[in-house]
Structure 1
């Protein structure tokens, strides 16, 4: 695709007077336009690179905090669920051990305990899948930030794009 967006047009599209006024939201807009901008636009961003780097780093920090909160919340919910299932299994175990429990009741309770053990296994699997997905998204996000910085520096990012595609396949 031919690069058709010059600096003035990019600034107008971003609704900013110059690249020093680049906010997080505007940086995301700029990233979506990078494949169509003229090299001088990348050069103008490079001239303001400290501000651009600050925006990228701030975005990465915010993302890290949000991921940390999501992982923490996931851990709390998982722990509460495991505690509840474990309590149910303990109750069933107590009932199985009672003398007044019939063999049929013991068999039914053993089946329920097996189902609860399967549920615990499923909870563990989902938790691990969630963590892997978050880490995969983090990898793609990091590669994206590196690609943005590299583009601003005038680096050919084709290799970075294929690495990002490969990381998305893992997710």
Structure 2
């Protein structure tokens, strides 16, 4: 087992003289190394840098806002793509209904409509995968903040194993 990182070493790693000089970027760096930091150091952070929790919450709010924008943009692009594919299918359907086309042309148009239907299915699958990926990143971020809070409070936390996480991811995928 490795020795916990001391306060002096944390300050040196963050390149700051004391925790009052903590910036948002330095706070994120500190969160990433919290699992290796001496619990007393975490307490020192709160004593010397009372706005640490505020910076962490601000970072979480910024992340949430960026995720919201990404999901919104993804939704717009997906809707536009589905609308274009649907318009093409309507056009092909109208073409198939005409009496002046040959059975071969009708069959070719039907094949194209099947390809477009497969494309719609692929678009839907990619959209769901994107949402699951964003939710996974969000879950990891929340887990990081929870670990931070637990480390500061001195709570003994049991992190779920990969099998439990996979089961949760599968359950979420089934819901979507």
TM-score by length of 1: 0.87
Task: Identify which range, 9-18 or 87-96, moves more after superposition.
Answer: 9-18
Which blocks of at least 5 consecutive residues in structure 2 are unaligned? 171-176
Q: In structure 2, what is the equivalent of residue 162 of structure 1?
A: 160
CA distance in 2: counterparts of 1:165 and 1:20, whole angstroms: 41
Residue-by-residue CA offset, 1:24-65 (whole Å, 9 max, x unaligned): 221222123323333321220232464111111111111111
Alignment of 1:100-139 (within 5 A): 100-139=100-139
Asked whether the 8 Å contact 1:140–1:168 carries over to 2, the reply is: no
Q: In structure 2, what is the equivalent of residue 51 of structure 1?
A: 51
Flag the 1:24–1:38 CA change in 2: closer, same or farther, 3 A. Answer: same
CA distance in 2: counterparts of 1:164 and 1:18, whole angstroms: 37
Q: In structure 2, what is the equivalent of residue 20 of structure 1?
A: 20
| 1:62 maps to 2:62 | yes
Q: In structure 2, what is the equivalent of residue 35 of structure 1?
A: 35
Q: In structure 1, what is the equivalent of residue 173 of structure 2?
A: none
Q: Where do 4+ consecutive residues of structure 1 move more than 6 Å?
A: none
| 1:8 maps to 2:15 | no
Residue-by-residue CA offset, 1:51-95 (whole Å, 9 max, x unaligned): 111111111111111111110111111111111101111111111
Which blocks of at least 5 consecutive residues in structure 1 are unaligned? none
CA distance in 2: counterparts of 1:145 and 1:164, whole angstroms: 19
CA distance in 1: counterparts of 2:138 and 2:115, whole angstroms: 34
User: Match of 1:16, SS?
Assistant: coil
Q: How many residues align?
A: 169
CA distance in 2: counterparts of 1:164 and 1:61, whole angstroms: 28
TM-score by length of 2: 0.85
Q: How far has the Cα of 1:138 moved from its partner?
A: 0.8
CA distance in 2: counterparts of 1:168 and 1:30, whole angstroms: 28
